[in-house]
A and B are shown apart, each in its own frame.
Chain A
Amino acid sequence: MQVRDYLIRRLVLLPFIMLGVSVVVFTLTRFTGSPVGIYATPNMTPDEVAALEARYLLDQPIPVQYAAWLGGLLRGDLGWSGVSVAPVTAVIGDKMTATLELALAAAIIAILGGIALGTIAGVRRNKGPDHMARLFSILGASTPTFWFGLLLLVPFYLWLDWFPLGRSTTEIWNSIGHPTGLYTLDAILAGSPAALLDALRHLVLPATVLAFGAMAIIVRMMRSSMVEALSEEYVDAARSKGLPEGVVIKRHARRNALVPTITVIGLSFGFLLQGSVAVELIFRWPGLGQWVTSAILSGDQATIMSYVLVTAVIFMTVNLAVDIAYAYLDRRVVLGG
C-alpha cells in the first residue's frame, strides 16, 4: 500500500518538522541578544536585573534555555502576551477561531469561484471567458491584498455603508451562545437569523478580499487541467457515446481536472493565512493577524512567536489533509521525496 506508507511517513516526520519550527522560532527570540530588556525597567539595580535573568533562566546556556522553553510549550505555556495583558494561551483560542472563520469563508469563495471560473475558461479556451479568467488570475497574483482591501473599503463601507467593520455587533454577539467560536456556525446552532445576518454582513467584505489571491491560483490551475482533460481520449470516447456535452464536461473532464487542482488548494491556504494579516488590520477583524500586528508595533515577542507557531501548525495540518485527499483521489500518483 504505497499511499498508506507515504501517509505514515508524513505523520512520522510531522513532529520532527514541528520540532524544527520550534528551534527556528526560539532562535529568532534570541537573535538580538538576551530578551531580559523586555522585563527590565530603567531604574532596576544590576542585582535586580541579575535576579530577573536567573528567574527566566537567561543566565543558563542556550540549549538549557531552549529545553525550558520547549518544556513550557509542551505544557501549554506560550508565555505572557503584553498586548493582551494576559497569558497567550488564555487569548489565542478566540483569535484563532476568528482567523479560521475568515480564512475558511475565503477558502469557500476561492475554491467554488476558482473551480467554476477555471472550468468555463478551459471549456471556452482562447475565447472571451478564457481571456477574462487569465486577466483575473494575473491581477490576483499582482495586487497586494492590503491595497485591494482599501479599494473595496471605500465604496462599500464609506460610501454605501453596506458592510460594517469588525466581526460582530456586540449586542447581537452577546445574545447567543458561542460553543464553536465560529460566529456563523454558532448563529445557525442558536437558530438566530439576526445573528447569522450580522455574522455574514461582517464577513463578506474581508472574506472576498482575502479570497482574491487564492482564487487566482485555483482558476489558473483549474483552467490548465481542464484544457488537458478535454484533450484526453476518454473525453472523445464519452462524446462518441453520444453523451450530451454538459455531461461530458461535468462528469468526465471536470472530475479529472479537479485532482491536480486539489494540490494548489493547500498552497493557496498559505496565501489565505498570510493575507489575513493585512485584511484583519484593515477591516478591524479581531483575529491572529490583528493581534500580531499590534504585537509587532509594541515589540511583544511572546505574542509574535506564538503566532508563528500556531500558523505553522495550521498550515501543516491543512497541507497534510490536502495530501491525504489527493492521495485517495488519484491512486496513480507516485508519492515521495
Chain B
Amino acid sequence: MSNFTAAAAIDESKQSVMSVKWTRRKEVAREVFSNPLTVLGMVIIGAFFLMALLAPLLTEPNQPDAYQSPRDWANIDSPPGIDGHVLGTDSQGGDVLYGIIWGSRLSLQLSLTVVGFTLVFGAIIGSVAAMRGGRLDNFLMRLVDVFLSIPELIFALAIAAVLGPSFRNIILALAAVFWVKYARIIRGEIIRIKQAEYVAAARVTGDSTWNIYRKDVLPNAVTPLVVQATLDMGNVVLIGATLSFIGLAQAGLTEWGAMVSAGQSGLLAGEWWVSTFAGLAIVLWALAFNLVGDGLRDVLDPKTEGR
C-alpha cells in the first residue's frame, strides 16, 4: 500500500516535471517565433533546404557528375534571361542557376557534416575534461589553447592545402578545426553547473557520476551549444566558400565560393552575373543562420550576447 502511494507520488511528480518542461518549451517557441527577423531567417533556411532536397526535380542532373554545371557551348558568358538561362552562364557555358541549386546541396552537406561532427566531438571532449578535472582537464585545455592560437580559416586552409584540393578535404579540414569552440563552451558551462545546489543534492543521494551528468548537468549545459551550432551552420559555409574561392575545391564545382572565383575574370569585363548571384547565395545562407542564431540567443541565453 505505502509502496503504491510512493510510486504514485513519484509518477505524479514526474508528470508535473514533464508538464513544466513542456510549458517552458512552448514559451520558448512562442518567444522565438514572435521575432519577425528569426522567422525570416527560418523561411530562408527552409527555402534552401527545399532547394537542396528538390534539386533533381528543379533541374535535370548533369551526367556523369551532377555537381558540375552542364556546358552550353553555344551560350558562353550570356547575361541573365537568354536561351532559358535565367541567371546567365559563365565563361564555360555553365548555367548559374543550376550551379546555385546544386551548390545548396554542397552547402547543406558541408554545414551538416561539420557542425554535426564537431558539436558531438567537442561536447564529448569538453564534458570529459570538466567531469574528470585534474591533469586530463589540464592537458585537453592546453590542446584547445594550441588550436585556438591559429585563426580558424588559416588552420583549415593549411590542412586542406596539405590534403590536396577537393571539396571533401575542405569538409575534413573544417571538422578538424571547429570542435574546439564547443569543447571550451561546454566545459565552462559544466564547471559552472557542477557548483549548483541541485548537483550537490544529486551527489548526496548517491547517484553515479554518469547519471548526474546525463540527467542534471548536460540538459542544463546545451543551450549555448545550440546557439553556437546555429551560428556555425552559416560560418562554416562562409569559410568553406573562402577556401574554394582560393582554389582548394576541384575546378568547375557547383560550390558557391568556387563560382564567385570562376566569375572573377568576367566581372572585370562587365559580366557581373556569375560572381554576384553566387555571392548572394552565400550571403543569404549565412544571413539566415545568423538571424536565427541571434534570435535563439536573445531568448535562451541573453547574457552571452557578443561573446
Task: Mark A residues whose CB is within 8 Å of B.
Answer: 13, 16-18, 20-21, 24-25, 28-29, 31-32, 138-139, 141-147, 150-151, 153-154, 158, 217, 220-221, 224-225, 260, 264, 270-271, 273-274, 277-278, 281, 292-293, 295-297, 299, 301, 304-305, 307-308, 311-312, 315-316, 319, 337
Contacts and interface: CB of A to CB of B under 8 A. Distances in A.
Interface string B214-246: 000000000000000000001000100110011
B242 to A, nearest CB: 6
B294 interface: yes
Given A13-B145, A274-B151, A315-B150, A29 B306 contact: no
A225 B305 CA distance: 10
B161 A21 contact: no
Contact of A16 (B142, B151, B261, B286): B142
28 contacts: A16-B142, A17-B146, A17-B149, A21-B146, A25-B158, A32-B162, A138-B291, A141-B290, A142-B238, A142-B283, A143-B286, A144-B245, A144-B282, A144-B286, A147-B260, A150-B275, A153-B268, A154-B268, A224-B306, A270-B151, A277-B157, A278-B245, A278-B246, A296-B247, A307-B154, A315-B150, A316-B149, A337-B188
A144 B257 contact: yes
B247 A315 contact: no
A28 B146 contact: no
Given A142-B283, A147-B282, A293-B246, 8 more contacts: A31-B163, A145-B242, A146-B257, A147-B279, A295-B161, A311-B154, A315-B151, A316-B149
Interface SS of chain A: helix
B260 A315 contact: no
Contacts, number: 139
A144 B162 contact: no
A318 to B, nearest CB: 11
A146 B163 contact: no
Given A277-B157, A308-B150, A315-B150, A143 B283 contact: yes
B283 to A, nearest CB: 5
Given A21-B149, A138-B291, A274-B152, A144 B158 contact: no
Contacts of B238: 142, 144
B140 interface: no
Q: Which 9 pairs across A and B sit closest by C-beta, in order of nearness?
A: A20-B146, A147-B279, A274-B153, A142-B286, A142-B287, A221-B306, A270-B151, A274-B151, A296-B161
A158 B275 CA distance: 15
A57 to B, nearest CB: 20
A278 B242 contact: yes
Nearest to A23: B146
Interface string B132-162: 0000000001110111011111110111011
Contacts of A296: 157, 161, 246-248
B272 interface: yes
A287 B23 CA distance: 56
A28 B153 CA distance: 15
A144 B283 contact: yes
Given A142-B287, A150-B260, A308 B154 contact: yes
Contacts of B151: 270-271, 273-274, 311, 315
B199 to A, nearest CB: 19
B166 interface: no
Nearest to B268: A158
A297 B247 CA distance: 7
B212 interface: no
B155 to A, nearest CB: 7
A21 B238 CA distance: 25
| Residue among B150, B157, B272 having the largest count of chain A Cβ atoms under 10 Å | B150
Contacts of B153: 274, 277
B299 interface: no
A224 B305 contact: yes
Interface string B256-299: 01001100100110001001000100110011001100100000
A114 B260 CA distance: 28
Contacts of A150: 260, 264, 267, 275, 279
A231 B117 CA distance: 41
A253 to B, nearest CB: 17
Contacts of A141: 286, 290
Nearest to B153: A274
A301 B162 contact: yes
Contact of B154 (A29, A220, A260, A273): A273
A217 B15 CA distance: 44
B294 A29 contact: no
B20 to A, nearest CB: 31
A128 B298 CA distance: 20
